[in-house]
Structure formats: C-alpha cells, structure tokens
Amino acid sequence: MDYQRPIYISGKVVLEDGTPVPNGVRVELLYNGQAKRQEYTRSDGSFTFDLTSPGRATISDASLSGSDNDIFGGPLGGGRLGGGVDRSMGRIDLTGFEVRASIPGYRSETVMLQSRSALDNPDIGVIVMRPLSRVKATTISLNSLKAPKDARKSFESAQKSLAKKKPDYDKALKELNKAVSAYPSYAAAWQLMGEVRRATNDLPGARQAFEKALEADSQFINPYLSLASLEIESNRWPEAARITGELLDLNPYVVRGHFLHAVATFNLGNMNAAAESARTIQKSDEAKDYPLSHYILGFTLAQQGDLKAAADELRTYVRLQPDSQYTERVKNVLQEWQQKGLIAAEQSPANARPAPK
C-alpha cells in the first residue's frame, strides 16, 4: 500500500429545506472544539478537505499547535499528537475531529470523524444548516439562489476569473454585468461587483454596487458590512453606526458587524454601545480575529472609571498586537496610570500567585 497517498473527506452543506448553500460558505475542521483548517463550499454546496496536505487553508493557533504539521503529525510522517495523524499503517486516526459549516445566525450540524484511509469513501454526507431565532438576515442571499441558469453561469465565470493567481478584474466585471443584466435581483452578483470595484479603487462604483445588492435583497448581510466599511474608511461614523445597527437588529450573531459597530460607536463617544459589541466579539468563536476589541473595551472601561479592568484589556491588546499603530499609545497610558498609582504593576508569570487548588 502507498502510505503517502492523499486522504480526502468531502461532503455538502444545505439549508433546512434541502437547498444547497452557495459558493463561499466556510466549512471548518475542528479538533476538540478548536478550528484547525477551513475550506469553502463550491457553487453546488460541496466541499473537500485534503487531510494529508500540510499548509493548505491552515488556521491553527500557533501558540497551541505550532503548525499544521504539528496537528497532523507531519505531512507524511508517523508522528501523533492527541487525535492527530498516525500514518504508520496508511491510516489517519481522526478521533476528536469534527466538521461543521459556519453561517452567522445558523446552527450547523456536525459530523464526527474516525479513522480513515485513502481507500475509504471520502463522502461524509450532508451538513444541514438551521436558522437560529431572531435572525432575519444571513450571508446567504435567498434571492440569489433563484437566479436563472445563464446568470449563474456568468457569476461562476466571474468567480473563476478572480480565483486566478493574477485575478482578471476586467473579465470578472464583464461577466458580473451579464449576470445582473440577466437577473437584476442577483444580490450576490452585485455584491461581488462591488468587491471587484473596491479592489480596483473604484470606490464610488463599489458603493453603487453594494447599494444595488442591498436593494435586491435587504436580508443579505454582506452589503451591510461592505457599506459600513466604506463609511468607516471615510470617518463617517454616524452612517457606519446606523448601517451596523440595522444589520445587528436583523442578525445579532454577525461578529464582524459587532466589530464595525464597536468602531463606529466608539468614535462617536457612545461607549455603552461600543463596550456591548466588544464584549459580544470576545465571547464568540472569532474573538482571536478581532484583537482591537480589547483596545476598544479597555478605553470604554477607563472612561467608565474601572481602570483595573481597563488595564487588563489594554495589556491583552499589547500582547496580541505588539507592533500595531496603537501599541505605543497604550503602553504610555498604562505607564502613566501606574506612575500615578491608579493601577498596580503587571505581575510577570514568575511572580504571579499560584492558582488555587
């Protein structure tokens, strides 16, 4: 047997009514609840993981597992770490691993994995997404799922043009124009058009396309996020706060929506709203992607008079972002508070008290 032969798993993600999710829905491979790799669905809702290819779509936490090789015991090796790879007999022990999809406002079924070999059927079945309560908007545009065949074909052609090593923006825009001409309610195509125009620095054109996407489907999350980002880049804080507020009323589970809302309301001086969104971020599975939430929460707590909690948040920010544009400012603030006796010096790990037994 060729012990180095690739081992795959594949499946499909669908909504509760059996409709396949569109291209680009994130599917995660988790180990003991922590995401280790991610892939994205194709236009028919299908996905594939190559379990023996190191470094592909890796999102492992280096502080926990070092690298993708650590997770899986090396690309070809016979090492083993917890529920990681043991390829000594041409099999992978995937005990503790599971697969789930991720859509804000939806609950995903999970598929538990066991020992697998290259000779096993890679299909692990269907993952069903069910909406949570209070959700009136999603990253899936239901209008776009109704697009006719020709419009979908043009949309997928645009995606292929953008997936090239050197994206062909001109061709993608031509295909997207075909898609929205054939189906003016194609919110996903308008959204992608906006992203392409933004990538080519056509900001007025991007804004127009995002607005068209929202007009086509007011329950589609992505244009809210894109329009809010444009407003924040222009320091138009009231507009950004309004857009993100509308989004979070429709779907309170959108972590990026909370981040943009926190930034906008923080800059407006609405510290209660900023703190609420920052705390929501930190309770989410995506918290590590938004270290600025600690900065925002730290200064909101400081304004509210809780300097000890504020210092904890700001020190966390410095640890996570030692080279950011705000780090020196944060260090100076902490030093000033400490010199004035407003907060205690941070204990080093060596001097920290042992945890109670």
**Average model confidence (pLDDT) for the chain?**
84
If 0-12 CB within 10 Å is exposed, 13-18 middle and 19+ buried, where does residue 311 land?
buried
Quick: pLDDT tens for 255-291: 999 999 999 999 999 999 999 999 999 999 889 999 9
Return the number of other C-beta atoms located less than 10 Å from residue 79's C-beta: 14
Question: In the chain, what is the straight-line distance between the N-terminal and C-terminal CA atoms, in Å?
Answer: 51
CB 310 within 8 A of CB 325: no
Quick: pLDDT tens for 217-257: 999 999 999 999 999 999 999 999 999 999 999 999 899 99
Model pLDDT, residue 353: 46
Q: Which domains does the chain have, with CATH numbers?
A: 9-131 (2.60.40.1120), 144-339 (1.25.40.10)
Residue 356 has pLDDT above 50, yes or no: no
Q: What phi and psi values does residue 119 have, to the nearest 5 degrees? A: -90, -10
